[in-house]
Amino acid sequence: MLTGKVSLITGGSRGIGRAIALELAARGSDIALLYAGNTAAAEATCRDLTEKGVNARCYQCDVSNFAASKAAVAAVIKDMGGVDVLVNNAGITKDGLIFTMKEADFDAVLDTNLKGTFNMIKHCYGHFLKKRSGSIINISSISGLMGNAGQANYSASKAGVIGLTKAVARELAGRNVTCNAIAPGFITTDMTEDLDKFPMLESIPLGRPGQPEDVAELAGFLAEAGYITGEVIRVDGGLAI
């Protein structure tokens, strides 16, 4: 169980991030929730978390900003006494075929999804080294494994997260810190509100999209698992078999 632990979750106000926060709280962890801009949703999630009997605090932060993410990590460590579990969930999409994709849209997705993950790991790195323990869970995507037409920026960012996960796992294993990635398929969230329009849904062997809780259950398991590192685990209903 995670009683007495602190979990820092980026993009934690809604969707998969919110579900992970609730799951880790149910396992006893206090929660530091980072969000980009939806203060109302973040505060509502924090209220739901405190109702589970854990300490929960919200911090507004653009994870793509190196200095801002450093300040947020420092604030969490000061306010909550440390970080035991880091969940890098913050992500955005700006879809389009490469022919029409704007450079700014490519850069924005890479900056949030990949550089944002690097920023958070970078700023927690020394803390984990000193503690000689910790768990890092990066939310990738099957788009990073398979590629997806119209999502060159998103697929590239999530493939980068997988490479980053494996590198970090090797670097930190000697200090008893694990680093794993979860690769969701089509999960019903605000980001995928037009999910029924994707023809690939017909290719899911289980015949349905997943729920945020499906991802959260795996995140809870990985947060407690001490002998699994460098893995990329799909939660996709069999889509990428």
What pLDDT sits at residue 199? Answer: 61
209: domain CATH number?
3.40.50.720
Q: In this predicted model, what pLDDT tens digit does every residue of 26-83 receive, in sequence order?
A: 999 999 999 999 999 999 999 999 999 999 999 999 999 999 999 999 999 999 999 9
Q: Print the domain residue range for 57.
A: 6-235
Q: What is the DSSP string of 139-184?
A: E--THHHH--TTBHHHHHHHHHHHHHHHHHHHHHGGGTEEEEEEEE
Instruction: Look at residue 207 and tell me if it is in a domain.
Output: yes
Tokens of 8: 């820092």
User: What confidence tier does 147 reach under pLDDT thresholds 50, 70, 90?
Assistant: very high
What single DSSP character describes residue 100? T
Instruction: Look at residue 1 and tell me if it is in a domain.
Output: no
Q: Which residues are tagged catalytic?
A: 154
Instruction: Look at residue 124 and tell me if it is in a domain.
Output: yes
Query: What backbone torsions phi and psi does residue 227 show, to the nearest 5 degrees?
Result: -130, 30
Instruction: Look at residue 240 and tell me if it is in a domain.
Output: no
Tokens of 132: 């000689």
User: What confidence tier does 191 reach under pLDDT thresholds 50, 70, 90?
Assistant: low
**Dihedral angle at the C-alpha atoms of 204, 205, 206, 211, nearest 10 degrees?**
-30
Residues 6+ apart with CB under 8 A from 191: 15, 91, 93
What pLDDT sits at residue 201? Answer: 75
Instruction: Look at residue 195 and tell me if it is in a domain.
Output: yes
Instruction: Look at residue 64 and tell me if it is in a domain.
Output: yes
Nearest Cα residue to 136 out of 22, 222, 65: 222
- Please determine, for residue 196, whether its predicted confidence score (pLDDT) is greater than 60: no
Instruction: Look at residue 241 and tell me if it is in a domain.
Output: no
Q: How far is CA 21 from CA 27, 29, 46, 49, 181, in A?
A: 10, 9, 9, 8, 16
As for how many domains the chain has, the answer is: 1
Instruction: Look at residue 90 and tell me if it is in a domain.
Output: yes
